[in-house]
């Protein structure tokens, strides 16, 4: 009874609440409505401002459509722009009412002031309403031939808007043809906007062959690029990058003409130029030219590292890709990648990655010192990566192993929890690469056994104990202590390592190890819940009881050394990313089709599902050796040491 | 191309939302807020966030988040360049670019956003040009009067906004034609505790303020090694001609005393340089001539970088000893390494202390050694020296007491950081050799040059 009463009351309250809210909302819009119809100009102006302010914060002001429209016919440019903004936002929801505004637009498009003409044509295109299209065609046609270049460049851009809405209308009215003609306009901005529009149309309708750069149009663009604003230069560079030059001579001359772009202050102009040069490498065969290109690319790329952190980040991600094509390119410049203390963390990660990648045997020493500094910083993840990097260098260059191990032991002695865990894991890998070479540091390592508490690190340490048992004086008590906590230890990696190491210790030193191995195997087989651990223990037990020599050849075998190379991209993906330097794909280091869906797929579903099937197909026919999909599987199965993203 | 641009305040409330294309809805603004601004992990792991098919790019400034949205495989570098340009535009228009100024000027910001991007493609973001026709309230009214009187004005504005010299009007007249050149260098250093230079480079910036009539053709010369080496004769001739006309008004005047830091005959190896878009890059590429028609007023003519033979203005010798767990002793010796005629100003040395420091006893020695104070909120001793003469030595000693910690964690020992500026000194050794101005009317012009070196990130590890 009670409950029912409460529920009805609650329901009533809800209704009241909604009513109040609705009234409130209506209240403000009602007030605005009155204001918009005020006889005073200033009050109407203020009301329009408030409408836009409400729109910005996400309130629904679409109900005021007709009232706002009433104010559209005004000489006040500010009000006009605000109302246009309103229209752009709500046109789609009220297509029938938009028609009411069309007259003003058409009139504005014939204004004497080019700014107003351009504004009208720009806004009309943005409305994105089919009904407006018919009214747009005439003014657009006029504006495309306007004497003012400002209006022309706006009109050219408007063609892209029309094409997006209806390719048929754009074609029928000859707008696409007009844009093609605009490529030979006298004004550089009109040209670059035309290039932009044609590129976009090509993307929308790839089969139509609306526009292709050819030998005759390339020189025009090469001239125009010198006069364009930076954004126009990017558009032209991108178009040229997608062009296939006719023969070597042309490729050479294009590259030479564009080399100066590397000196541009805008980082994306630089990156796009680099992308073009790298892409053209396959067309140019003269070795001297190629090496000149590479030489010219290096300084601007490094200069990008002194720009804003976000641009640095994009540059570093791209340098990482470029280095996989030209590994030697930056080997002299290693010091510029040293991290500053205040670099944002994402910049530090990338720098670290590049450092390890470009390090040669000659400069391991300074880099190792540097890495040790990083290993003492605060960010746990960065420290982890720095320590991994030390290990990687030790494994790659034998000459540096000594120094690296010394550094690692120094770090260990700092007794910082996360550092200790990481160092132990890395030391295990180094020891595997150089068996028995660093036996003398094992006792020092054992002094820090109490600080080792992460499962990975524990497993690594126990492996080291088993491998180097003869160098450790108190080995029985250490192993015994670990065995005590065998069952409390839930991680199967640690348990397996314990079983293995106990067996190894016994095989090397039967007298001391007998009790230990018995205890280990007993606990593992009788009390352990994990079937893998139990199975492993049973196998060892039988081996030991049947044929100790066989056991020896199984347990005491030397393990293959760990390979710890930087995660590299598959050749196909690398090829793809090189052609898309500077783009989102290059930043994510994933092929574009994984996060972009084409307009052609009307379904409008991101092709994530496709991606999965593609990846599946790839691993399926990996024996063919062609990795069609983008996901890099070459490193699967290896410990992933650097999570590069 | 960009699909949308949003500006948020600190809390993630949308202050400005402008959609450019119909492939996104306004609600994506909320997606970014939920996933990035109010994400529980406080550290941003990447300035690019891709969720499904939508990519968000953000930069932070003051208490604002500027965010751009794309749906295609856009050029990330371009988007960030654009966002920073937008930021610069805001700063230039409103003096400050923060939540308050965005709220107060939202109408103007929408006008600007409408102008700088069309259908998501950047158009013209030159502040000087935009200010001609997208104007703040006060300017607007006078401008409106003018345009009533002269209907031709918009015509010329639009010509300029799209023209080959989009950065300059052609009808500028000055009574006195002057050009000021400021060479501003930031010197970056990472030095190890042992005093080895791990990394040193100079980021230079040449800022020009031009008050020149008409369409002046400028030629600009530096003591660039590549130019001087290739053609020593012309280099000598140029400097000879410069000194020959020393009495004339075209001589590069120096506003402050002589160049103390370096000899005039030396050349500098420039590792790389970038130019303002007014500079003809083709010319530079063929014969390293810097030629241009400058914008009116202040602009950054070029940026450059040198890595060889950096004159480090200060040498720091730090000794930091951790005496057990309760005390740290500091001895920091700083030597200036430039001519005694010059001096550094506004110098600040930040010496980090552990978070559990309780008390600092600090002593500074040397003439004009300034003041050092412990700032617990920054975990550092900040030593301020108002004037640091050339070839001078100052020292600081400090004893820092530490509070015992329940869970002892070693101190990460962040580096000592220096901040300073030295006038009439360039860490790279760069010199302006000449600035020539040619104009149709053949007027005389006066040119001035100043040099300054300041600290970029000047870190000495301890």
Say which residue the tokens 């309403």 belong to. Answer: A129
First to last CA, chain B: 47
How far apart are alpha carbons A195 and A234 in whole angstroms? Answer: 10
Residue in chain A nearest B133 by alpha carbon? A115
pLDDT for B347 equals 93
| A contacts of B276 (beta carbons < 8 Å) | 265
Rounded to 10 degrees, what is the CA torsion of A476, A481, A483, A485?
180
* Average pLDDT score over residue span B358-365: 90
B149 touches chain A (CB under 8 A): no
Alpha carbon of residue A387 to chain centroid: 24
Residue A484: band (very low, low, confident or very high) from pLDDT cuts 50, 70, 90: confident
Angle, CA B91 vertex, CA B86 and CA B93 arms, to 5°: 90
With a pLDDT cut of 70, the percent of chain A lying above it is 90
Residue B158: band (very low, low, confident or very high) from pLDDT cuts 50, 70, 90: low
SS3 sequence, A355-382?
Answer: HHHHCCHHHHHHHHHHHHHHCCCCCHHH
Q: What confidence tens digit (pLDDT) does each residue in B231-251 have?
A: 554 444 444 334 333 333 333
Residue in chain A nearest B71 by alpha carbon? A596
Nearest to B73 among A257, A370, A584 (CB): A584
Is 0.90 surpassed by the pTM of this model? no
Nearest to A259 among B29, B119, B285 (CB): B285
- For residue A628, pLDDT over 60 is answered with no
* Average pLDDT score over residue span B190-197: 88
A418 touches chain B (CB under 8 A): no
Q: Do A300 and B274 touch (CB under 8 A)?
A: yes
The residue of A59, A260, A305 whose CB has the most chain B CBs within 10 angstroms, and thus the best one to mutate to test that interface, is A260
Helix (H, G, I), strand (E, B) or coil at B251: coil
Nearest to A264 among B22, B45, B274 (CB): B274
How far apart are alpha carbons B215 and B295 in whole angstroms? Answer: 9
Task: Indicate the length of chain B as a whole number.
Answer: 462
Say which residue the tokens 């033979």 belong to. Answer: B309
Give the gap in angstroms from C-alpha A580 to the nearest C-alpha of chain B.
8
* Average pLDDT score over residue span B102-113: 89
A385 touches chain B (CB under 8 A): no
Please state, rounded to an integer, the average pLDDT across all residues of chain A: 82
Nearest to B415 among A299, A311, A341 (CB): A341
pLDDT for A390 equals 93
Give the gap in angstroms from C-alpha B19 to the nearest C-alpha of chain A.
8
Rounded to 10 degrees, what is the CA torsion of A188, A191, A196, A202?
-160
Which tops the pLDDT comparison, A99 or A487?
A99
With a CB cutoff of 8 Å and minimum separation 6, the contacts of B72 are A203, A596, B1
- For residue A319, pLDDT over 90 is answered with yes
Question: Are the C-beta atoms of residues A517 and A502 closer than 8 Å to each other?
Answer: yes
pLDDT for B247 equals 33
Give the gap in angstroms from C-alpha A500 to the nearest C-alpha of chain B.
34
- For residue A602, pLDDT over 90 is answered with no
Pairing of strands B290-292, B297-306: unpaired
* Average pLDDT score over residue span B115-141: 75
How far apart are alpha carbons B52 and B63 in whole angstroms? Answer: 28
Residue B142: band (very low, low, confident or very high) from pLDDT cuts 50, 70, 90: very low
- Quote the ipTM score: 0.83
| B contacts of A160 (beta carbons < 8 Å) | 119
- For residue B453, pLDDT over 90 is answered with yes
* Average pLDDT score over residue span A149-157: 91
Q: Do A263 and B275 touch (CB under 8 A)?
A: yes
| A contacts of B81 (beta carbons < 8 Å) | 230, 266-268, 311
| A contacts of B320 (beta carbons < 8 Å) | none
pLDDT for B180 equals 93
- For residue B157, pLDDT over 70 is answered with no
Give the gap in angstroms from C-alpha A597 to the nearest C-alpha of chain B.
7
Q: What confidence tens digit (pLDDT) does each residue in B410-444 have?
A: 788 899 999 999 999 999 999 998 899 998 888 88
Q: Do B77 and A265 touch (CB under 8 A)?
A: no
Phi then psi for residue B366, to 5 deg, are: 120, 160
Angle, CA A227 vertex, CA A223 and CA A233 arms, to 5°: 85
Nearest to B80 among A125, A311, A318 (CB): A311
Q: Do B107 and A78 touch (CB under 8 A)?
A: yes
How far apart are alpha carbons B340 and A360 in whole angstroms? Answer: 42
pLDDT for B183 equals 94
Name residues 179-198 of chain B within 8 A of A (Cβ).
Answer: 188, 190, 192, 198
Closest residue by Cα to residue A137 from A88, A183, A174:
A174
**A241 class by beta-carbon count within 10 Å (0-12 exposed, 13-18 middle, 19+ buried):** buried
Which tops the pLDDT comparison, A272 or A544?
A272
Q: Do B107 and A82 touch (CB under 8 A)?
A: yes
- For residue A481, pLDDT over 50 is answered with yes
* Average pLDDT score over residue span B86-93: 90
Residue in chain A nearest B17 by alpha carbon? A56
- For residue A153, pLDDT over 50 is answered with yes
pLDDT for A643 equals 31
Which tops the pLDDT comparison, B159 or A357?
A357
Q: Do A148 and B271 touch (CB under 8 A)?
A: no
pLDDT for B153 equals 57
Which tops the pLDDT comparison, A626 or A331?
A331
Residue B107: band (very low, low, confident or very high) from pLDDT cuts 50, 70, 90: confident
Question: Are the C-beta atoms of residues B281 and B275 closer than 8 Å to each other?
Answer: yes
B273 touches chain A (CB under 8 A): yes
| B contacts of A588 (beta carbons < 8 Å) | 48, 50
- For residue B151, pLDDT over 70 is answered with no
Residue in chain B nearest A598 by alpha carbon? B72
Q: What confidence tens digit (pLDDT) does each residue in A372-407 have?
A: 989 988 888 899 999 999 999 998 888 999 999 999
How far apart are alpha carbons B297 and A178 in whole angstroms? Answer: 38
pLDDT for A626 equals 32
Nearest to B412 among A92, A189, A378 (CB): A378
How far apart are alpha carbons A642 and A639 in whole angstroms? Answer: 9
- For residue B67, pLDDT over 90 is answered with yes
Rounded to 10 degrees, what is the CA torsion of A508, A511, A512, A516?
90
How far apart are alpha carbons A180 and A157 in whole angstroms? Answer: 12
Q: What confidence tens digit (pLDDT) does each residue in A93-114 have?
A: 888 888 888 888 888 888 888 8
Name residues 120-149 of chain A within 8 A of B (Cβ).
Answer: 122, 125-126, 128, 148-149
Residue in chain A nearest B77 by alpha carbon? A268
Q: Hey, what are B335's tokens?
A: 């030597």
Residue in chain A nearest B120 by alpha carbon? A157
Say which residue the tokens 């943005």 belong to. Answer: A126
- Biggest CA pair distance of chain A: 106
Q: Do B74 and A311 touch (CB under 8 A)?
A: no
Residue in chain A nearest B417 by alpha carbon? A341
Residue in chain A nearest B14 by alpha carbon? A57
Structure letter (DSSP) for residue B138: H
Q: What confidence tens digit (pLDDT) does each residue in A320-355 have?
A: 999 998 888 888 888 889 998 889 999 999 999 999
A586 touches chain B (CB under 8 A): yes
How far apart are alpha carbons B288 and B304 in whole angstroms? Answer: 13
| B contacts of A58 (beta carbons < 8 Å) | 14, 17, 26, 29
- For residue B252, pLDDT over 70 is answered with no
Q: What confidence tens digit (pLDDT) does each residue in A529-541 have?
A: 888 888 888 888 8
- For residue A44, pLDDT over 50 is answered with yes
Q: Which of A65-74, A136-145, B129-138 has the lowest mean pLDDT?
A: B129-138
**B399 class by beta-carbon count within 10 Å (0-12 exposed, 13-18 middle, 19+ buried):** middle
- For residue B257, pLDDT over 50 is answered with no
What is the secondary structure of B315-361 as a DSSP string?
A: EEEEEEEEETTTEEEEEEEEEE-S-TT-EEEEEEEEEE--TTEEEEE
Name residues 407-446 of chain B within 8 A of A (Cβ).
Answer: 409-410, 412-415, 417
Nearest to B272 among A113, A153, A300 (CB): A300
**A444 class by beta-carbon count within 10 Å (0-12 exposed, 13-18 middle, 19+ buried):** exposed
Residue B230: band (very low, low, confident or very high) from pLDDT cuts 50, 70, 90: low
């Amino acid at each position: 009874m009670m409950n029912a009463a409460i529920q009805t009351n609650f329901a009533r309250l809800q209704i009241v609440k909604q009513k109040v809210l609705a009234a409130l909302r209506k209240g403000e819009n009602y007030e605005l409505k009155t204001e918009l119809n005020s006889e005073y100009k200033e009050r109407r102006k203020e009301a329009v401002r408030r409408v836009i302010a409400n729109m910005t914060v996400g309130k629904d002001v679409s109900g005021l459509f007709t009232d706002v429209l009433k104010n559209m016919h005004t000489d006040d440019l500010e009000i006009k722009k605000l109302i246009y903004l309103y229209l752009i936002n709500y046109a789609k929801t009220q297509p029938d009412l938009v028609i009411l505004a069309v007259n003003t637009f058409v009139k504005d498009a014939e204004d004497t002031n080019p700014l107003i003409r351009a504004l009208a044509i720009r806004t009309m295109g943005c409305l994105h309403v089919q009904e407006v299209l018919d009214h747009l065609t005439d003014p657009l046609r006029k504006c495309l031939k306007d004497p003012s270049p400002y209006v022309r460049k706006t009109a050219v851009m408007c063609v892209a808007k029309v094409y997006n809405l209806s390719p048929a209308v754009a074609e029928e009215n000859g707008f696409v043809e007009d844009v093609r003609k605009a490529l030979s306009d006298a004004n550089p901005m009109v040209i670059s906007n035309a290039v932009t529009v044609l590129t976009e149309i090509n993307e929308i309708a790839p089969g139509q062959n609306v526009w292709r750069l050819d030998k005759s149009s390339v020189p025009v663009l090469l001239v125009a690029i010198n006069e364009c604003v930076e954004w126009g230069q990017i558009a032209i560079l991108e178009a040229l990058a997608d062009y296939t030059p006719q023969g070597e001579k042309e490729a050479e001359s294009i590259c030479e003409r564009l080399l100066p772009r590397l000196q541009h202050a805008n980082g994306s102009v630089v990156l796009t130029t680099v992308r073009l040069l790298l892409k053209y490498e396959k067309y140019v065969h003269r070795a001297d030219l190629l090496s000149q290109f590479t030489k010219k690319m290096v300084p601007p790329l490094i200069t990008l590292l002194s720009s804003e952190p976000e641009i640095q980040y994009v540059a570093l991600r791209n340098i990482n890709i470029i280095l996989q094509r030209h590994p030697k390119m930056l080997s002299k410049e290693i010091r510029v990648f040293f991290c500053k203390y205040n670099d944002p963390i994402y910049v530090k990660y990338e720098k670290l990655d590049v450092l390890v990648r470009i390090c040669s045997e000659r400069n391991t020493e300074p880099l190792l010192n540097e890495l040790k500094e990083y290993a003492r910083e605060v960010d746990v993840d960065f420290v982890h990566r720095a320590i991994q990097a030390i290990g990687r260098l030790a494994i790659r260059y034998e000459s540096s192993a000594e120094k690296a191990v010394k550094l690692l032991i120094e770090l260990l002695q700092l007794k910082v929890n996360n550092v200790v865990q990481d160092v132990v894991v890395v030391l295990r890998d180094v020891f595997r690469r150089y068996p028995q070479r660093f036996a003398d540091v094992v006792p020092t390592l054992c002094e820090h056994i109490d600080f080792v508490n992460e499962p990975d690190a524990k497993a690594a340490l126990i492996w080291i104990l088993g491998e180097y048992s003869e160098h450790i004086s108190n080995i029985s008590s250490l192993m015994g202590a670990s065995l005590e906590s065998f069952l409390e230890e839930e991680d199967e990696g640690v348990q397996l390592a314990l079983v293995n190491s106990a067996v190894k210790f016994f095989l090397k030193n039967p007298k001391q190890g007998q009790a230990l191995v018995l205890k280990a195997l007993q606990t593992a087989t009788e009390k352990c819940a994990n079937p893998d651990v139990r199975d492993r223990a049973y196998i060892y037990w039988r081996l030991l009881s049947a044929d100790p020599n066989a056991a020896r050849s199984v347990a005491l075998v030397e393990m293959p050394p760990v390979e710890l190379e930087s995660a590299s991209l598959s050749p196909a993906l690398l090829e793809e990313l090189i052609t898309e330097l500077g783009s989102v794909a290059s930043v994510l280091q994933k092929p574009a089709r994984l996060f972009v869906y084409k307009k052609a797929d009307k379904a409008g579903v991101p092709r994530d599902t496709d991606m999965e099937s593609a990846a599946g197909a790839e691993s399926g026919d990996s024996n063919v050796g062609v990795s069609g999909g983008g996901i890099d599987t070459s490193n699967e199965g290896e410990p992933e040491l650097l999570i590069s993203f | 191309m960009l699909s949308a641009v949003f500006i948020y305040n600190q809390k993630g409330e949308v202050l400005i939302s402008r959609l450019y294309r119909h492939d996104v809805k306004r609600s994506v603004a909320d997606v970014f807020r939920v996933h990035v601004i109010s994400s529980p992990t406080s550290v941003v792991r990447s300035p690019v966030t891709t969720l499904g098919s939508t990519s968000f790019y953000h930069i932070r400034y003051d208490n604002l988040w500027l965010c751009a949205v794309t749906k295609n495989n856009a050029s990330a570098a371009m988007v960030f360049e654009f966002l920073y340009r937008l930021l610069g535009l805001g700063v230039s228009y409103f003096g400050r670019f923060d939540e308050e100024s965005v709220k107060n000027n939202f109408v103007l910001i929408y006008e600007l956003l409408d102008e700088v991007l069309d259908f998501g493609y950047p158009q013209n973001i030159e502040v000087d040009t935009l200010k001609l026709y997208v104007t703040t309230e006060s300017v607007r009214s006078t401008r409106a009067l003018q345009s009533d009187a002269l209907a031709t004005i918009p015509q010329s504005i639009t010509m300029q906004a799209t023209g080959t010299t989009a950065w300059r009007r052609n009808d500028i007249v000055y009574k006195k034609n002057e050009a000021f050149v400021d060479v501003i260098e930031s010197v970056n250093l990472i030095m190890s505790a042992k005093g080895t230079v791990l990394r040193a480079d100079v980021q230079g910036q040449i800022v020009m303020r031009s008050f020149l009539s008409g369409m002046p053709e400028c030629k600009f010369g530096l003591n660039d090694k590549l130019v001087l080496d290739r053609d020593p004769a012309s280099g000598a001739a140029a400097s000879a001609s410069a000194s020959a006309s020393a009495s004339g008004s075209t001589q590069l005047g120096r506003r402050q005393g002589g160049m103390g830091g370096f000899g005039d005959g030396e050349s500098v190896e420039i590792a790389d340089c970038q130019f303002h878009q007014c500079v003809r890059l083709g010319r530079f590429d063929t014969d390293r001539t810097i030629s241009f028609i400058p914008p009116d007023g202040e602009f950054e003519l070029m940026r450059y970088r040198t890595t060889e033979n950096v004159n480090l203005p200060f040498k720091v010798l730090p000794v930091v000893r951790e005496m057990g767990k309760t005390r740290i002793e500091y001895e920091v010796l700083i030597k200036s390494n430039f001519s005694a005629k010059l001096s550094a100003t506004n110098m600040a040395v930040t010496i980090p202390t552990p978070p559990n420091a309780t008390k600092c006893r600090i002593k500074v020695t040397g003439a004009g050694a300034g003041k050092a104070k412990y700032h617990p909120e920054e975990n550092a001793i900040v030593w301020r020296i108002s004037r640091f003469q050339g070839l001078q030595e100052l020292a600081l000693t400090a004893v820092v007491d530490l509070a015992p910690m329940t869970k002892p964690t070693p101190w990460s020992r962040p580096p000592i950081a220096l901040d300073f500026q030295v006038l009439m000194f360039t860490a790279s050794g760069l010199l302006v050799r000449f600035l020539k101005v040619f104009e149709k009317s053949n007027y005389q012009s006066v040119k001035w040059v100043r040099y300054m070196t300041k600290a970029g990130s000047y870190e000495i590890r301890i």
